[in-house]
Amino acid sequence: MRFEILPSLLAADLGSLGQEIVRASNSGADALHLDIMDAHFVPNLSFGPDVVSLAKKTAPAFSRNVHLMMTRPDLYIDKFVSAGADVLQIHVESDCDLHRELRRIRQAGIKNSIVINPATEVEELFAYLDEVDGVLVMTVNPGYGGQKFMPECLSKVKTLRKLKPRLDIMVDGGCNGETIPLAAQSGANQFVAGSYLFAQRDMARAVRDLRSKL
Ligand code: DX5
Ligand code: ZN
């Protein structure tokens, strides 16, 4: 399986967003993770399709992985597709017809993925595993960057890896040099890191360090 590192733009310096996107793109990371929060599904607001467009304009070759923490992602899928998302991730806890929306994302010509919160049982995902390009297992309660990694979420990664040896399995929240190896041992192959990577002066070196631990 290919290991991938994804910096989360939520932790970037918002005063220099364009430069931060360039910094992440030049770091050798595999894709940019963009966290969309609606102040309803999670108790926070972040940014919308315009920031996805900015990322596309600023670093066209740096793929955009868009994590929709929204109660009604179905109402925004078209907007994020038009803005330049390459992967759209929707939560199993969201309030929409998931089979339909997962299909719609693929029909738009991009990849889909399903996300699961720490409090949700892994069995909730089983009905969708043959319809997704990837799964994202949250290792914090979504809403904020800079939280502590929850190792108890890794049993879900193990279960999913046993069921699907070739599926992309991502972890998000609290990832750093200590926690990424644990997630990889459990079977994850994609790792989102926000506060850890953006806090580094030399992000390229930090990405190399993380890869060396995989
Ligand atoms: C949490 C977001 C994460 C967040 C990760 O709600 O989904 O992507 O940016 O940030 P860190 O790596 O700081 O935990
Ligand atoms: Zn995220």
Per residue in 96-134, pLDDT (tens digit) is 999 999 999 999 999 999 999 999 999 999 999 999 999
For the CA of 142, the nearest atom of ligand 1: 6
pLDDT in tens, the chain (214 residues): 899 999 999 999 999 999 999 999 999 999 999 999 999 999 999 999 999 999 999 999 999 999 999 999 999 999 999 999 999 999 999 999 999 999 999 999 999 999 999 999 999 999 999 999 999 999 999 999 999 999 999 999 999 999 999 999 999 999 999 999 999 999 999 999 999 999 999 999 999 999 999 9
Ligand 1 pocket member 35 (CB < 6 A)? yes
The bound ligand whose nearest atom lies closest to the alpha carbon of 46 is 1
- Active site (annotated) includes residue 172: yes
How confident is the model at residue 161, as a pLDDT? 98
How confident is the model at residue 22, as a pLDDT? 98
- Active site (annotated) includes residue 97: no
Measured between alpha carbons, how far is 143 from 4 in angstroms, rounded to an integer? 23
SS3 for the chain is CCCEEEEEHHHCCHHHHHHHHHHHHCCCCCEEEEEEEECCCCCCECCCHHHHHHHHHHCCCCEEEEEEECCCHHHCHHHHHHHCCCEEEEECCCCCCHHHHHHHHHHCCCEEEEEECCCCCHHHHHHHCCCCCEEEEECCCCCCCCCCCCHHHHHHHHHHHHHCCCCEEEEECCCCCCHHHHHHHHCCCEEEECHHHHCCCCHHHHHHHHHHCC
Mutation test residue for ligand 1: of 5, 9, 35, the one with most atoms within 8 Å of CB: 35
Between the CA of 138 and the centroid of ligand 1 the distance, in Å, is: 9
How confident is the model at residue 1, as a pLDDT? 86
Catalytic residue among 30, 38, 168, 172: 172
% of the chain exceeding 90 in pLDDT? 100
Reported as a single tens digit per residue, the pLDDT across 4-13 is 999 999 999 9
How confident is the model at residue 125, as a pLDDT? 98
Residues 6+ apart with CB under 8 A from 144: 44
